[in-house]
Chains A and B, each alone.
Chain A
Amino acid sequence: MKHLIKSLFISLPILLSSCGGDDSAKKEIKDPIKKSEKKVEAVAETSGPNYGIGPIAKGDVTIGDAIDTAMAEQGKEVYDKMCTACHKPEKKFIGPAPKGVLSRRTPEWVMNMILNPEQMVKEDATARALLIEFNGAPMANQNLTKEQARQVLEYFRTL
């Protein structure tokens, strides 16, 4: 697996090398690479809500009307420790910002993405689209328990 990835990416520097310009002498440097705006929205869900693939099945998660603040606080603690290396709460970073995620995804999908990212990015169309959108940065499996993932979900509701 590792070797396959290695051989794929050996070719990358060759492609990139032609893009650099020798602009070091100029005071103001314009980015010589044209940027194209990426589309933020993931794949359209054609056949109803997507619950993702993993240990959380449809209906496994009950979301209360009010936010469980105690649970959300525990979730923040887990999030700060295990997730902040790649996710800022309200700003796109290595991965997407969790703020408002429940307006875009089902709770089940979010928890499956936390608990089962390897299979999700391979087999879930939305997760795969997100992986490509985020330059191939993989969602790390931080081996959270189901309970911790549920707490993190509750924390996301407070953002």
Chain B
Amino acid sequence: MKAVFFINQNQINTMKFPFKIIALALIGGLFITSCGPSTDDVKKDMRGEGALSSDAAERVYVKPGEYDEYYAFLSGGFSGQLAVYGLPSGRLFKVIPVFSVDPEKAYGFNEETKPMLETTHGFIPWDDSHHPELSQTDGETDGRWIFINGNNTPRIARVDLKTFETVEIIEIPNSAGNHSSPFTTENTEYVVAGTRFAVPFQQKDMAIKDYKGNFKGALSYIKVDSVTGHMNIEFQVLMPGFNYDLSHSGKGKSHGWSFFTTYNTEEASTLLEVNASQNDKDYIAAINWKKAEEYIKAGKFKTMPGKHAHNLYSDETHSATSEIIDEVKVLDPAECPGLVYFMPTPKSPHGVDVDPTGEYIVGNGKLSADLTVHSFTKMLKAIEDKAYDGDAYGIPILKYEAVHAGTVKQPGLGPLHTEFDDKGNAYTTFFISSEVVKWKVGTWEVIDRKPTYYSVGHLMIPGGDSKKPTGKYLVAMNKITKDRYLSTGPEVTQSAQLYDISGEKMELLLDFPTIGEPHYAQGIHKDKVHPKTTKIYKLDDNHHPFAAKSDRDTKVVREGNIVHVYMTMIRSHFAPDNIEGIKVGDEVYFHITNLEQDYDVPHGFSVLGAQNSELLVMPGQTETLVWYPKYEGVIPFYCTDFCSALHQEMQGYVRVSARKSNTELKWSLGED
């Protein structure tokens, strides 16, 4: 992305220039005749609203109290999170904490979720999240889970769409810059995770200049349990030391295959901006994962070191556990014929996108002016005919002409990503020329183009990477917003744009701000998710080891200098709300259970001097905040989420005595 940044800046400037001239001409016109467009209209023209009819507003307006038609899940980029919006309104519903701590929800701060962020490098409070991917059944989004990658310290997370909480994170070993991830197969048999950086395999201390031939790229296949959703790394394919940029799985006729784009097939370790752009063509790697399964079954794998953390959250204990797994199964393509083929694709392809039929594989060569499309049928034929153009590290390179289906000629500059609609059209984003281009699959003719503001990266059509795309909305996610919003200083908002794609021509309907930097996104009709969400956690199903499920269970227990407070909360009091006998230097665990069994009655908790965060406890849930009292005194705690008319009364005190004092440990609520 950074490599083309400079070009992009110039492009924006040159692009704006004609607009300026037009604008000046129009303003000039104003002086001559008073009947010309108002300056506001001119501004609107410059901002791309042009002839946008006023009914655009109606088409994105969701009346108060009514629901949006689609959920949109936009990655939070360098915020590490996943944001949930409604379409067409662009309203933000929730930021789901995934890879970064969130003091609002105590994610990574309470004792229950700390294990979620454990890795082989220890606790990591941040990551860079790029690509959300909904689970699929028969190639169609099913609304069960959404997966997302952590780019920096390679991880894949699974979010449960009943609770909209992160319930599982698995670390990816032998990987670095987990970018071509997590793309699902047709029935969520696997999500894949490909390494962006090639690294020594196994990692070791060696000279960087010896990269070529010595570094490797691991592509991981993460098996997803069809019932529980639990993930495990089933196997890794040990690829040459290229950079693996993006991926998508085959579907329909190409089910059983996955496709990864590569760049830096030059294997440069420095000044990649120049050195990784030398080859006329890089490759799309086609991996036959069904074949891989056969090789695994036949024992053709090596068990190799691959230390990684596996973190799992349970809705029954309301707690996460973290375990370290030591090894992975590895397949070497040189020893597994038929496992991997390379399809030459011009220049540094970024996104690789498979059309709804599974026949066409689009390579978005980001430094090319054309868009290359391969045919799956031709690919199979080329393999059968052994139409090879040599090999790379023992992996056959298929002849370009033998797999090439067609080229979309000169559609724009810097193609990055393609999604599909339900009428046989494809939509590709062009980063350098800041536009979305609609073209016909099969005839490769350009149908329409619309500018984006500015420098679009990914795009998303609900179901647009599945077998059943929708044809109503397209969301473009931009890298630069510049003058689109009120300025907030040097750092301005990130932004998405909504287009109506139901007609022949696309129409820009709406700009809306997003969190972090949105990369990829997923969209799904509300009926697949909304009716199935969890409203409360049942107290009966709460198996948290420190839960106080009624006032009978409330107590304070001292074990040396560790104190466990078993506390309950309900509108509008804590039980107990007076605690004495805590001492300076204690380690106090407030285990707090929300006894409410009604929808939307969370309670919050914090205590003066807490060095972590608040707790935000959902009905029926138990959460734990650790607190280290440092001074003698009477310390208040209170409910942080306005819960009832008596919310302001929902408070209590902890008496903290000197370390050597004899203050008796006691607790109470009311006068009893």
Contacts of A101 in B (CB 8 A): none
Instruction: Determine if A25 is an interface residue (Cβ-Cβ < 8 Å).
Output: no
Contact mask for chain B residues 601-619; partner A; CB cutoff 8 A; 1 contact, 0 none = 1000000000000000000
Instruction: Determine if A136 is an interface residue (Cβ-Cβ < 8 Å).
Output: yes
A140 touching B601 by the CB < 8 A rule? yes
Contacts of B595 in A (CB 8 A): 82, 85
Q: Smallest CB-CB separation from B596: which chain A residue?
A: A140
B645 touching A13 by the CB < 8 A rule? no
Contacts of A8 in B (CB 8 A): 645
From B550, B646, B648, B670, contact of A137 by CB (8 A)? B646
From A2, A12, A138, contact of B571 by CB (8 A)? A138
How many residues in A have their beta carbons less than 8 Å from beta carbons of B? 23
Contact mask for chain B residues 558-579; partner A; CB cutoff 8 A; 1 contact, 0 none = 0000000000101111010000
Contacts of A71 in B (CB 8 A): none
Q: Smallest CB-CB separation from A118: which chain B residue?
A: B598
- CA A141 to CA B550, docked complex, whole Å: 15
Contacts of B317 in A (CB 8 A): none
B648 touching A142 by the CB < 8 A rule? no
Contact mask for chain B residues 628-671; partner A; CB cutoff 8 A; 1 contact, 0 none = 00000000000000101111100000000000000000000010
B648 touching A12 by the CB < 8 A rule? yes
B552 touching A84 by the CB < 8 A rule? yes
- CA A51 to CA B536, docked complex, whole Å: 29
A141 touching B644 by the CB < 8 A rule? no
- CA A138 to CA B647, docked complex, whole Å: 11
Contacts of A97 in B (CB 8 A): none
- CA A13 to CA B642, docked complex, whole Å: 15
Contact mask for chain A residues 2-24; partner B; CB cutoff 8 A; 1 contact, 0 none = 10011011001100000000000
- CA A84 to CA B539, docked complex, whole Å: 14
B260 to chain A, nearest CB (A): 48
Q: Smallest CB-CB separation from B568: which chain A residue?
A: A85
**Is chain B's interface secondary structure helix, strand, loop, or mixed overall?**
loop
Contacts of B596 in A (CB 8 A): 140, 142
Task: Say whether, besides A80-B552, A143-B597, A143-B598, A86 and B646 are in contact (CB < 8 Å).
Answer: no
Contacts of A135 in B (CB 8 A): 646
- CA A6 to CA B643, docked complex, whole Å: 10
Q: Smallest CB-CB separation from A143: which chain B residue?
A: B597
- CA A84 to CA B554, docked complex, whole Å: 12
Interface centre among A84, A85, A94, A142 (most CB of B within 10 A): A85
A81 touching B549 by the CB < 8 A rule? yes
A85 touching B598 by the CB < 8 A rule? no
- CA A93 to CA B57, docked complex, whole Å: 53
A85 touching B597 by the CB < 8 A rule? no
- CA A137 to CA B670, docked complex, whole Å: 15
A85 touching B575 by the CB < 8 A rule? yes
- CA A13 to CA B570, docked complex, whole Å: 22
Task: Say whether, besides A81-B549, A93-B670, A137 and B571 are in contact (CB < 8 Å).
Answer: yes
Contacts of B550 in A (CB 8 A): 80-82, 84-85
From B551, B597, B598, B645, contact of A84 by CB (8 A)? B551
Q: Smallest CB-CB separation from A13: which chain B residue?
A: B648
Contacts of A137 in B (CB 8 A): 571-572, 644-646
Task: Say whether, besides A80-B550, A84-B552, A138 and B597 are in contact (CB < 8 Å).
Answer: no
From B549, B552, B573, B644, contact of A138 by CB (8 A)? B644
A136 touching B646 by the CB < 8 A rule? yes
B570 touching A140 by the CB < 8 A rule? yes
From B536, B549, B572, B642, contact of A143 by CB (8 A)? B536
B230 to chain A, nearest CB (A): 30
- CA A9 to CA B105, docked complex, whole Å: 25
- CA A93 to CA B575, docked complex, whole Å: 13
Contact mask for chain A residues 122-153; partner B; CB cutoff 8 A; 1 contact, 0 none = 00000000000001111011110000000000
CB contacts under 8 Å to B, within A49-101, are: 80-82, 84-86, 93-94
- CA A85 to CA B571, docked complex, whole Å: 9
- CA A72 to CA B648, docked complex, whole Å: 36
From A80, A136, A140, contact of B645 by CB (8 A)? A136
**Mind listing 13 A-B residue pairs with CB under 8 Å?**
A5-B642, A12-B648, A13-B648, A81-B539, A82-B550, A82-B595, A85-B550, A85-B570, A136-B645, A138-B571, A140-B571, A140-B597, A140-B598
Chain B residues with a Cβ under 8 A of chain A: 536, 539, 549-552, 568, 570-573, 575, 595-598, 601, 642, 644-648, 670
Closest 5 CB pairs of A and B: A136-B645, A85-B570, A141-B598, A142-B597, A143-B597
Supply 20 further A-B pairs (C-beta < 8 A) apart from A94-B573, A142-B597. Answer: A2-B642, A5-B645, A9-B648, A13-B648, A80-B552, A81-B539, A81-B549, A81-B550, A82-B539, A82-B550, A85-B550, A85-B595, A86-B570, A93-B670, A136-B644, A136-B646, A137-B646, A138-B644, A138-B645, A140-B571
